Structure formats: structure tokens, C-alpha cells
A and B are shown apart, each in its own frame.
Chain A
């Protein structure tokens, strides 16, 4: 086994995911419709109700649509991470996960490649979303469109790793509805995606604390700052730490001698 083997396998996995994504039109459209509805309908409705102070990285008063754009980018990546996790559970139930896990490569590498593939798919979705938002007159500095790439990679990996971790625990596809109720919605609503932290603090200190330490908030802030060409070290370190914790737990979860795989039983 050599570096070339790892390289070919990684691109094999990434290429497969990208191909599947671009050929599954329904998935592509539904991944975009969700944040666009929030942008065009929800944000327009709440524009008048929510007053926003000038807070970094913004240097002037902004429209609510501008504020929630990084939050909706986070939403795309959050749902994509969970979608990948759902497909892992599906693949495991249907058996196609087995063909990946019996290939002659370390399991951590296979999982990381799967994660990278999911992240690339989410970045594709984000750029299509940003293009539509740009046409809707939500403009960021042009450098921001480049600066968000590393932020999107890290936040995509972190959210994908969380999905991977959940998929190692979920035994059946039917249990996935629980993930929606207990992971996706609380993570999204208890974050800075839709409202800034200081607004939450005014309403409830408990909610403020939960939102502040929610890794999704940090990923959104990392993207928000990067989109405006600024570096948020706190958000970067927090997102990175969350990624390391989630991926380590996921790799243990998929390890045949330590994780959940053996407890799932089978033929």
C-alpha cells in the first residue's frame, strides 16, 4: 500500500459522491430550496421585526437578509452533514457500506474520505446558494468569496463528523427522525444563525449560554467573519476542537473492536 493507493481511493470516494449529487436533481434542488425559502420569505418577513446593531464583522447597519446569509450557509452544511449520515445508515442497511469497509485501507481513512466527499458536496451547494443570493443583491466583498473556502471546509468537516458519529449510533433508518428533532432543529435554532448572541442574551441567559457554546454557532461565526475577509480565531479554534472530538468519537464508533458496529448484530 502506498500514497498513490490512498490518493486514488480518496478521489474515488469523492468522485462518487459528487457524481451522485449532480445526477440526483431532486436532492440538488431540495438542498437549495430550504435556505432560499428562509432567505426570500422568512428574512423578508422578519426584516422589520428585528433591529440589528452594528456588530463585527459588519461595519454598518445591515439588512436582516445579509445577517442570516452565513446562518443559511451553515444550514446548508448542517443538513448536508445529516444527509450524509442518513445515507451512511441507508448504505449500511442496504449493504453498500460493507463494500467500502472491506477495502484494504484503514477505517479512519475511509471515514475521513467519506467526510471530505460530503464537505465538497456541501461547498458546491453553498456556492450555488451564494450566486442566487448575489442576484438577490446580497453582496459580500469579493475576497470574501475566496476566504470562506477554508471556513466552509472546516465547518463542513465538523458538521459531517457529527453526522458520522450519529450514524454510528443509529441502528435503523426509521430512527433518523429523532435526529431531526433532537439534533438538527435545536442546533439550528439555538445558534447565531438567525439572531445575534446579544439579542438572545436580552431574552434568556440560559439560551444565550447554550447558543454560545453550540459548535454550530461557532461554525456560522467562522463563516460570517470569513465572508467579510476577517479572521475569528475563537470560532476557528472552537470549530476545530469540535471537529476533533466528533471525528475521534465517530472513528471509535466505527471501529469493529471498540465501537457500536459489533453491538448492532446481524446475520
Chain B
């Protein structure tokens, strides 16, 4: 087990009743990389995220965030985690600033520090001028940017994104994909991005392909292409997610 891993998932199983959602899932991700968790709908990506965030209990196996066991050291593990859920989790009736302040309070960040960080994160995402607007007035792309700013507010070591670009137009998608990849390149943060959109993968990304609750392959883009003998990631993905 790599002690420098930002996220370690080891032998994790999960079932909804008799239906197995995750089967012996194991992988590690490190800071400085954007790891794309690829899988078709129903592959178990969101279930895996619910386990990593302790929304669900992990009945078997082990999940560690920066060395903290999510089951035994839940608060320490969650403190290093930033997350953007598939569904928007912003309060539509509050302003951008109020939403971010609320998040800062939940992480114990004082008012002044919170305001400075809010401004800093929003400026990076080009949203600073809109911080006093109600979230309801923002379009889908801008709401996503606010959620990314929120996820980064407490300076996490691990950023999880659960299909954050679903339903967005092409420019919004491109800018979010670019921004998150640039974050990973700084080397201070590990990114795990769940997606089924192949065009969001960059050549330097690491890949984890999940299908029917099982890991089909892991590795760099080149390694996956080599292992599957496919010319393109799209072909490799289809190969790995066909049949059982």
C-alpha cells in the first residue's frame, strides 16, 4: 500500500440487497494527477463516491483518504476531501457568497479568512463579480464553477468530481475540464473524476475503468491502450465495457 496515496481503495464490496454494486474494487490515486474513473451508467461510480464520502458505510474492504481510514477517522478523512456531486448541492435561494460562507463555516474557517478565500477561488474561476447574486440566477455552467470553488475553499488534498459536466454546453465543459486538469498539474492535489465522456480525458491522465461494479483496468492512457490493443481510448473503453 502506497503511504503517499491521496486515496486508497482496497477490496471494497457493496450491495443493494442482493444486487452487487461493487465487487472487490481496489485502486490508489496520487497527488499531481487527474484520474478519470470511467464507466457507463450504472457501473457503480456514484456508489463508490458515496462510500468514499462515508454517505454509505463500507461493509467490507478499506478506504483511506491521505492515510485516514474513512470508517475510523471519518472527520480527519473528510477534512482533506473536496467534492462536486453529480446533482447540484447549492442552496438556490442563497447568494454565491452565502453558499460559500456556509461551506467555510462547516469546515471551521473564520469569517475573514473565508471571505479572502472565497474571493481568491471565485477570481480564479472568473466568478468573483457574481458573488452577490443568488445561485438561482446563474446558469448551469456557472453553478458548477461555484461548486468547484466551494470544493476547493478548504484547500483539500483530494478532489472528487462526480460527472460534473453532465448537461453543460461545450464552452462550459471545456473550461471546467481545463481548469481541473490545471489544478492537478500544480501537484498539490489529487483529482478523481467520474465520467462516461471520453473527450474529457487528457493524454497525461490516469484511467480507472469500472464496469458492472468491477475494475476492468487501471493505468495511464498509454498503458490502457497497450493492454487493450486499441488505437483510441474510445475503442479501449468499448472493448472493456462489452459483455460481462
Contact = CB atoms under 8 A, between A and B. Distances in A.
Given A95-B85, A261-B56, A16 B78 contact: no
A9 B108 contact: yes
Size range of the interface on A?
35 or more
Nearest to B79: A104
Size range of the interface on B?
35 or more
Contacts of A266: 46-47, 50, 56
B236 interface: no
Interface string A12-32: 110110011001100000000
B107 interface: yes
Interface in A170-221: none
- Among A5, A13, A15, chain B packs the most CB atoms within 10 A around the CB of A5
- Among B53, B77, B91, B93, chain A packs the most CB atoms within 10 A around the CB of B91
Contacts of A8: 105, 108-110
B94 interface: yes
Given A95-B85, A95-B89, A100 B108 contact: no
B49 to A, nearest CB: 8
B45 A104 contact: no
B190 interface: no
B204 interface: no
B198 to A, nearest CB: 20
Interface string A31-57: 000000000000000000000000000
A68 B22 CA distance: 56
B205 to A, nearest CB: 23
B78 A102 contact: yes
A103 B46 contact: no
Contact of A99 (B50, B57, B77, B89): B89
B181 to A, nearest CB: 24
Contacts of B54: 101-102, 256
Contacts of B55: 98, 101-102, 256, 261
B130 interface: no
12 contacts: A2-B108, A8-B108, A8-B109, A9-B105, A9-B108, A20-B93, A23-B93, A24-B93, A102-B55, A104-B75, A266-B50, A267-B47
Interface of A: 1-2, 4-6, 8-9, 11-13, 15-16, 19-20, 23-24, 94-96, 98-106, 256-257, 261-262, 265-267
